[in-house]
Amino acid sequence: MVQRIRCRHTFIGHMRALMAALPVLICVALIPPTRAIADSQDKTMLIDDFSRTDLVSALGTEWRGVSDRVMGGVSQESVSRSVEGDRPSLHLQGDVRLENNGGFIQAALDLSSGGRTLDASAYRGIRLMVRGNGEKYSLHLRTPDNTRPWQSYRAEFTAGDEWQTIDLPFDGFAPYRLDTPLDVRRLSRLGLVAIGRAFSADVMVSSISFYR
């Protein structure tokens, strides 16, 4: 009989402790998910972090190499995925040469499939995590307003030998061989480009995204 009384007292004690803790448990359950994650997702839109091994971007479109050979030039490009430590990246290498009116190599990405365009008007620009061989490179954007192969909107940056984050605001992209302003509501393609002079290109990008 003594043992039964002790068990009953123990059970009552546990129930009292649970009831006392219940308001705290309810409060914890009602706390919304962390704002940091939501804010981070709201402030950027990932284009690619090169986690896939087949050069298919986070948008579902594929990176491809293009050079001035399509116009009779002799520059040679290599576009590949590389991993440095635990950091995957897009790697653009090659020799830019000026013969036969050439002078560029690039890694190009359609921003949507099926000939559609992407509306990036909710964002301020494009953010790159990049490193390279100390040379100047360009990011080119295209829209349906670019009716000629040589037309684009261009922003330059220098890729140093240490990883760095570079923000390229849309209002810093200059139209090349056209007068129409950049319409970020109708982006069709971007390109990581080595252009304009004879040099050896070697640049890596580990992430690329739109930022607010």
User: How many CB atoms lie under 10 A from the CB of residue 129?
Assistant: 17
What are the φ and ψ backbone dihedral angles of 43, each rounded to 5 degrees? -85, -15
The DSSP call for residue 195 is E
Q: Which of 209, 210, 163, 204 is CA-nearest to residue 81?
A: 204
Q: Which residues pair with 181 in a beta bridge?
A: none
pLDDT top residue among 5 and 153: 153
CATH number of the domain located at residue range(s) 39-211 in this protein = 2.60.120.430
**Domain ranges across the chain:** 2-31, 39-211
Taking 3-state DSSP, the helix, strand and coil percentages for the chain, each rounded to the nearest 5, stand at: 25, 40, 35
pTM: 0.80
pLDDT confidence band for 4 (50 / 70 / 90): very low
Report pLDDT for 41.
54
pLDDT in tens, 13-39: 444 443 444 343 333 333 333 222 234
